[in-house]
Every structure is written in C-alpha cells, then in structure tokens.
Chain A
Amino acid sequence: MTLARFVRKNASRNKRRSLLTILSMAFSLLLLSFLMCVWRAFYVDQGSAESAQRLIVRHKISLANFIPGYYREKIRTIPGVVHVLPVNWFQGIYRDQKPENFFARFGTDPDEFFDTYKELSIPADQEEAWKKDQAGAVADKALADKYGWKIGDRIVIQGDIYPAKLELTLRGIFTTAVPNNALYFHWKYVEEGVPFAKGHAGTFGILVDSPAHVNEVAAKVDEMFANAPEPTKTETEKAFQLGFISMMGNVKAFILVISLAAVFTILLVAGNTMAMSIRERTREVAVLKTLGFRRQTILGLFAGEAVAIALLGGIVGTLVAIVLLKGASQAPQMGPLFSVAAKQWNFVAPLVWGVAAVAGLLSSSIPAYGASRKGIVEGLRHIG
C-alpha cells in the first residue's frame, strides 16, 4: 500500500466529516479568493492600455469645484498632449431617484470623444449624427439594452447640480469590452441652459501620445496652473478611480482584516478536524509503530491527509469565487470592477491553494506530533 493510497483511504474513511471540513474551508477560502481578486482589481491592475494613456484633470480642491473652460486650449499646447476634452459629471435624475435608475451621465465634446476613448467603438454614421445634433447623446450598449433604448429615442434627464432639464435624443450606441454603463452628451447643451456652467468644466480628459509621457504631462499641467486662481490636480485614470475607492473608507485595512479572519478560520477548522481524526486513531498509530513505521512516515501520513483535504477545499472555494465574480460582472453598477476582479484568477487561485496547503500542514502538525510521540503501549491502551 503506497503512502498516497493510505492517505486517500484515511481521508475517505469518515466521508461526512471530510466533506463538512472541505465545505467549511471552501467557504472561508471562497471569501479569501473573492477579497484578493477585488484587492488586485483595486490596487494592482493597471487598467487597459488605452486607459494608461489618459489623464484626468480636476480642480485641486475637489471635484465639486469647477475649472475654467479656457484651460482646455492651454493644456493643448503642452507637448505630448493629443486630445483634451471636457468630461463633466452631470449627475441628474432619470425617471426617479431610485438607485437602480442611476447611471453615469457625462457632458463632453463629440468632436474628440471617440478619438480619446478608443476602446469604445461606434458605427461612423452614428458618430456623425451625434456630432451634428447638439441635443444628441450616445450610450453604452449594456445601458441601452437595460432600458430598451433604440436610436432616435428621447431620454430626459432632470438636472440637480445643474438646474436644467436635458431632453436628449439617442444618436448612437457604442460597444466596449468592459461595459461602462454611461451616457454621453454635448457639454455645450448644458452650457447654454445653465448660466453658471458656461465657460466651466468639472474635469478634463487628456489623451497623451504615449504611456511613457503620462507622468511628465501630468506634472506640466499642474505646473501650468499652480499659481492660477484655480489650481489643478492631474492624475491617471487609475489614480482618479482609486481616489473614489479611498473615499469609501480605509478599504485596504478593511479587506486585510476580513482576509485575516478568513485565514484564521481555515486554520481553526482544519486543526479541529485533524485533532478529531488523530485522536480517534491513537490506537492505529501504535499499531503502525509496532509494524515498524517511523515517526516521520506517520507524521507524513497525517500531514498528507490534512493538506489533501485543505487543497480540495481551496479548489472548491476558488471555483465558486470565479463563478460568483463572473456573475457579479453582469451587475449594473459595480460590474466593470468585478469583471476586472475575475481576471485576477490566475494569480489569486494558486495563492489561495498555497494558503490552504500551508493551513493543512500547520493544523496537522501539532496533533500529529503528539500522536507520533505517544508510547506504543500507552497508545494501544487508549480507548477512543
């Protein structure tokens, strides 16, 4: 009988216990994989190649402050800048104030929009139609599908930050690998309806000629307006998004604390099970020793069993996590985040399996060591 076969037989001896242990560990490891994927999506993933080439300019003080519209032409003069356009958060209300009817609405400039956001693709005739109609809008396909919008449909957005009612006509529907669920329209339309919006922008998007020049251009923009009445803060799209995440609170610590709790739970569960099984087998261990097996071999048997069970839990956990993340990427608001998170699979899964294996090893070591040290006669006398 080989060692592996012995381990397998032992693990399947109390099937219910092994199954419960695997399931219990799987849930903790599912949580761990889920959190690690989200962590990597937040802090490690660098976004798409197109996104790495773009910068966002906002007022240094906060997003709620406007920057003058004439900054656009000044920014254009900086070497390395290919396109500059306003990308202004309009907010507003569509249908009602329910959260499920909320989606991103931006005022922008159609002339440069699709040249800057190259990952969004739209038929050329639709883009032309949008450019010509100042009350026209384009929407993400996922968003259009959600509301059943067709080209030519009217979309009315009641402003809140900006006191204006936008009566938009859908002129185009764009597609992209990761749906952004956003609606874009002419910023000019808002400027004409709202006096205080005229000549102002919330944020500018900049397309830089190469990712290598991104930091240099960002520094130059901020330098240009450092002493102006409205100083700016320019950062990459990724950094801009991270700013929002950090506003949610100390997300890093939050994820770490919960991950730690999950890992400890795994250790406890695995340790508990192994302690139970080893205790039951005290007599068997004595028999094995009588037959001439060494302590190392006996330790290896138990460790092997614990690691095998933990790994099975790990595999189940990661698989369920992936299914969940894939499912969550269809969610309307957080969808893009989860689809990025799901892509972290090939890094996170091996990591989680490693954690499981180490937990199995650690959890079995103490009870197994105790069992292997027990004297043969004492062990044989043990009543389980």
Chain B
Amino acid sequence: MAIPVTYNIRNMILRKGLTLMTALGIALTVMTAVFLMMLLAGMKKAFVKSGDPLNVLVMRKGSTSELAGGFTKDKLPILVSLEGIAKDNEDKPLVSGEWVVVVNLPRKDGTGDTNVTLRGMGNEGLVLRKNVKLVEGQWFSPGQHELVVSQLIHRRFAHTAPGDALDFGKGPWKVTGIFDAGGTAADSEMWADVNQVADQFNRQNALGSAYLHATDPVAADALKHRVADDQRLQLEGMLETEYYDKQTTSGAPIRFMGYIVGLTMAIGSIFAATNTMYAAVAYRAREIATLRVIGFRRGSIVLSFIFESVLLALLGAAVGIVLMLPFNGMSTGTSNAVTFSEVVFKMQITLSVVIYAAIFAVTMGLIGGVAPAWSAARREILAALRD
C-alpha cells in the first residue's frame, strides 16, 4: 500500500525553512534554464517560423546568404517571365528584385553600434509579404529616400520613430512608418525602395536577390527547379522557408552555453536536494520505523521519499517559472552568423519551455531523492525505534 501524499505535504510544511531553501535553490537552477530556453524559443521563432512557403528566393549559384548574392539586373525580366508566378490585382507578376545591405546603427540603451539589415525591395515586395502589418505611419514611397522599420528595431535603436531621419550611406533617410512582422525574421529588418538602396552602395546595375511568389506549393517547388535549370540565369532558387531554416545555426553559441550552464547548475542542485532529503530521512527515522511496524512495505517508503523529493523539485520549478514570467516578451538581439547583422527577437515562454523546465526539475528531484529514499527503507526497524 502506498503512503498517503498528505504525509509528504505535511512534512514539507512542518519543515518550512528547509523546504523553502531547497526549493529556492532548485528554482534558481530552473530560472537559469528557463531564461536560456526563452532565448532559444524566441530565436527559433525568428528563423524557423519565418518565410512564406510560396515565396521562392533566387540568388547567385553557390551563394549562402542574400548579402553574398549579386547578379546583373538584366536577369530579372527572365525571372518575371517564368511560369507559375502569381499575379496581383493589376495582373502584374509578383516578383521583387531586392538588395540586402547592413548598416551600422546606435542602440538606444547606449551600448554601442550594431549592424542592422536594410532590405531594398521592388514594387511588388510589399505585396508578396502580406503577413506584415503596418502599425504606425506609412510605407516608404518608391523613388524616395524613405524607409520603414520593424517594431522591434524601433524599440532598440535610436532615431527610428516616424518623422525621424537616419544618417548612413549617402545622406539622411526619412523614417515613414513602423511595421510588425509577428516575431519573424523581418522583425530584424528595415525596408526601403530597392533602387535607393542600390544607389547608396553603388550597385545600380545589379540585384542581390529576387523573390518570386508562386501560385501554389507545387508551383513553388517547380519554380525552384525552373530557376536552377535555366542556363541563361546561372541562378539558384530555394523556398524562403528553407533559407531561414539554414540560419538557425546562429543560436548555436547560446545553446552551447545553455547546456554547460544548465548541466552544471543542475548537478549542484541535485547534490543540494540529496542533502535535504537525507536530513528529512534522518529526522524521521523513528517515523519511518513506525510506518514499517504498521505494515507499510519498504517499496512504499522508497516511493514516498522519492515522491517527496520530486514534489520539492516541482515546487522549485513553479517558483522559478513564475519568477521568470516578467521576462516574457522582452526583446533582445543576437547576431545572425550568415548576414553579420543583428537579429532582434522576443524572449518567449512557450508551453514547451514550461514542460521542459518541469521535466528538468523532476529529473533533479528523482536523482536527488533516490539515495536518501533507499537509505530510509533499508534501516533496521528496531535500531531506528531505539534512536
């Protein structure tokens, strides 16, 4: 027969101080782990969930990023004429020739400059990115020295409110609006007219990349191959989603750090939990013996103490997760290993972060509880009663 759960809970309440201190220790470990997982979850969204599966990104053969692209402008008409491209209301094919460059902007918090992506796009650029919404001001006008910034960039960088002027390249750029890309990669970008961007960087006769919006997923796949097979082009097409998938490696340093930090702190916490459980067992030597006399089996006692340890860890996890809630939605940045520019993203507590944190804590509780529980069950009844 199992020992009632209330026995464990009452014992934990009886030794409030000890319970709380151990739980807090576990909570700190869980907080650190949650912090790192929130970072990774935000980054994952910025990359993995980015891109429209109907958009085909075209770059020079062998090129791995839009920055390294580069082909002459005369190839654009060939791309426009390809089959399977969707058309807009005015029957124009949804194709946008683009240039992505990076510019150096000062952060608002005064921690120095960093690289930000500026994307120059053609007239259809905004049409084929339907998921992005304007939240303030207006879109940039073609032919003007104007740009729009994402909400996250607006929050992190100085002089990015509508009406402000940003100074880089050849003279001031007027900020006309702020857009929201819902946590995807575009949230780390500023957008402007492609010709203006090319002019800034003396690349008037070339394009960095092109986006083709396909009519349906099958057409998107076919379009990809059509681009690669066309001998006149010497270009390569890939789905926009595939492109961002490849960039998730940017999170590798944080993930690596996360594993080291999480593991080290977890091992420390396991030792601490073991200590607490040994103390709990020692205090209750007589109780345990009494339980045995009443007829509870050794197995039940082992189970009961392991359960108590897990409960302790779960309490810690709950405290840790609650304490981390205020960080949800905080925006931060890291660099994109492919484009050298900053990726802005929001820290996110997702369901999977919570589940992983709980599993992490339960594992600590399990490992920490086994040895003490075993020693509790193994003691001789008579010796323990005499204590």
Give me the interface of A with B, judged by CB distance under 8 Å.
16-17, 20-21, 23-28, 30-31, 34, 60-65, 91, 97, 99, 158-161, 163, 196, 229, 244, 246-250, 254, 257-258, 261-262, 264-265, 268-269, 271-273, 275-276, 384
Interface string of B263-292 (1 = CB under 8 A from A): 011011101101110110001000000000
Q: With a CB–CB cut-off of 8 A, which chain A residues contact B104? A: 60-62
CB of B253 within 8 A of CB of A248, answer yes
Say yes or no for B169: interface residue by CB 8 A criterion: yes
Known: A16-B278, A61-B103, A272-B272. A261 touches B70 (CB 8 A): no
Q: Tell me if B22 is interfacial: C-beta within 8 Å of chain A.
A: yes
Please tell me if the beta carbons of B28 and A268 are within 8 angstroms of each other in the complex. yes
B341 at interface (Cβ–Cβ under 8 A)? yes
Complex CA gap A23/B270 in Å reads 10
B103 to chain A: closest residue by CB: A61
A61 touches B169 (CB 8 A): yes
Which residues from chain A contact B84 at a C-beta distance below 8 Å? none
List 22 A–B pairs whose Cβ atoms lie within 8 Å, in order of A's numbering. Answer: A17-B278, A20-B274, A21-B272, A21-B275, A24-B269, A24-B275, A26-B268, A28-B264, A28-B268, A31-B264, A61-B104, A99-B249, A158-B62, A159-B62, A229-B202, A247-B340, A257-B35, A258-B32, A258-B261, A268-B25, A272-B22, A272-B275
**CB pair A272 B261 closer than 8 Å:** no
> In the complex, given contacts A20-B278, A265-B269, A275-B17, what are 10 additional A-B residue pairs having Cβ atoms less than 8 angstroms apart?
A61-B102, A62-B101, A62-B115, A257-B35, A258-B261, A265-B28, A265-B29, A272-B22, A272-B25, A272-B275
Q: Is the CB of B32 within 8 A of A261?
A: yes
Asked if B272 contacts A269 (CB within 8 A), the reply is yes
Inter-chain CA distance A354–B254, complex, in Å, is 29
Please state if B60 and A163 are interface contacts (CB–CB under 8 Å): yes
The answer for the CA separation of A23 and B64 in the assembled complex, in Å, is 47
A233 → chain B, closest Cβ, in Å? 8
In the complex, A23→B201 CA distance in Å?
A: 58
Q: Which residues of B contact A161 (CB under 8 A)?
A: 63, 67-68
Assess whether B115 is in contact with A265, with CB atoms less than 8 Å apart.
no
Contact B21 A268 (CB under 8 A): yes
CB contacts (< 8 Å) of A244 on chain B: these are: 335
Contact B271 A275 (CB under 8 A): no
Q: Are the C-beta atoms of B25 and A273 separated by less than 8 Å? A: no
B268 (CB) vs chain A CBs: closest residue: A27
Q: Which residue of A lies closest to B22 (CB)?
A: A272
Does chain A have a CB within 8 A of B333? yes
| Beta-carbon contact of B21 and A246 below 8 Å | no
Are B335's CB and A247's CB within 8 A? Answer: yes
Supposing A20-B275, A248-B334, A264-B28 touch, asked if A269 and B261 sit within 8 A by C-beta, the answer is no
In this complex, the member of B35, B168, B261 whose beta carbon has the largest number of chain A beta carbons within 10 angstroms is B261
Partner of B261, one of A31, A158, A268: A31
A246 vs B107: C-alpha distance when bound (angstroms): 12
Residue pair B267, A27 in contact (C-beta under 8 Å): yes
Q: Is the CB of B275 within 8 A of A17?
A: yes
List the 3 closest pairs (A to B, CB-CB), nearest first. A247-B335, A27-B268, A24-B271
| Closest chain A residue to B62, Cβ basis | A160
B143 at the interface (CB under 8 A from A): no
Residue contact A25 to B334, C-beta cutoff 8 Å? no
| Contact in complex: B335, A248 (CB < 8 Å) | yes
Query: Contacts A62-B340, A261-B265, A268-B24 given: A247-B115 contact, CB under 8 Å?
Result: yes
Closest to A233 in B: B104
Inter-chain CA distance A248–B101, complex, in Å, is 19
Q: How far is the CA of A249 from the CA of B252 in the complex (A)?
A: 13
Q: Which of B330-364 contact A (CB under 8 A)?
A: 332-335, 339-342
What are the residues of chain B within 8 A of A269 when measuring CB–CB?
25, 268, 271-272, 275
B231 within 8 A of A: no
A84 CB → nearest B CB, Å: 23
Residue of A21, A23, A27 most packed against chain B (CB within 10 A): A27
Q: Tell which of B28, B62, B102, B253 touches A64, judged by Cβ atoms closer than 8 Å.
A: B102
Contacts A160-B64, A246-B111, A248-B335 given; does A64 touch B29 at CB 8 Å: no
Point out the residues of chain B lying under 8 angstroms from A272, CB to CB: 18, 21-22, 25, 272, 275-276
The distance from the CB of A57 to the nearest CB of chain B, in whole angstroms, is 15
Q: Is B112 an interface residue (CB 8 A)?
A: yes
A30, B264: Cβ atoms closer than 8 Å: yes
A282 to chain B, nearest CB (A): 13
B207 within 8 A of A: no
Of chain B, the residue at the smallest CB distance from A91 is B68
Is residue B114 contacting chain A, with contact meaning CB distance below 8 A? Answer: yes
* B161 at interface by CB-CB < 8 Å: no
CB distance from A183 to the nearest CB of B (A): 19
Please, which residue of chain A has its CB at the minimum distance from the CB of B249?
A: A99
Instruction: Considering the complex, give the chain B residue whose CB is closest to the CB of A264.
Output: B28
CB nearest neighbor in B for A242? B112
> Which of A61, A257, A265, A271 is within 8 Å of B265, CB to CB?
A265
Q: Which of A34, A64, A97, A196 is most buried by chain B, counting CB atoms within 10 A of its CB?
A: A64
Q: Decide: A265 and B62 in contact? CB cutoff 8 A.
A: no
CA distance A65 to B118 in the complex (A): 13
Contact between chains at B265 and A23 (CB < 8 Å):
no
Q: Is B220 located at the chain interface by the 8 A CB criterion?
A: no
CB nearest to A162 among chain B residues: B68
Q: Which residues of A contact B210 (CB under 8 A)?
A: none
Chain A residues within 8 Å of B342, by CB: 247
A247 touching B334, Cβ below 8 Å: yes
Residues of B with C-beta under 8 A to A248: 253-254, 334-335
Question: In the complex, are the beta carbons of B335 and A27 less than 8 A apart?
Answer: no
Chain B residues closer than 8 Å to A229, beta-carbon distance: 202
CB distance from B280 to the nearest CB of A (A): 10
CB proximity of A273 to chain B, nearest CB, Å? 6
Q: Are A247 and B114 neighbours in the complex by a CB distance under 8 Å?
A: yes
Q: What residues of B have a CB within 8 angstroms of the CB of A64 in the complex?
A: 67, 101-102, 115, 339-340
Q: Contact partner of A271 among B21, B67, B332, CB < 8 A?
A: B21
Kindly state the separation between the CA atoms of A275 and B264 in the bound complex, as whole angstroms. Answer: 24
Establish whether residues A250 and B332, one from each chain, have CB atoms under 8 Å apart when the complex forms: yes
Contacts of A24 in B (CB 8 A): 268-269, 271-272, 275
* B238, CB-defined interface residue at 8 Å: no
- Docked Cα-Cα span, A47 to B35, in Å, equals 32
With a cutoff of 8 Å between Cβ atoms, the chain A residues found around residue B340 in the complex are: 62-64, 247
Q: Would you give the shortest CB distance from A92 to chain B, in whole angstroms?
A: 10
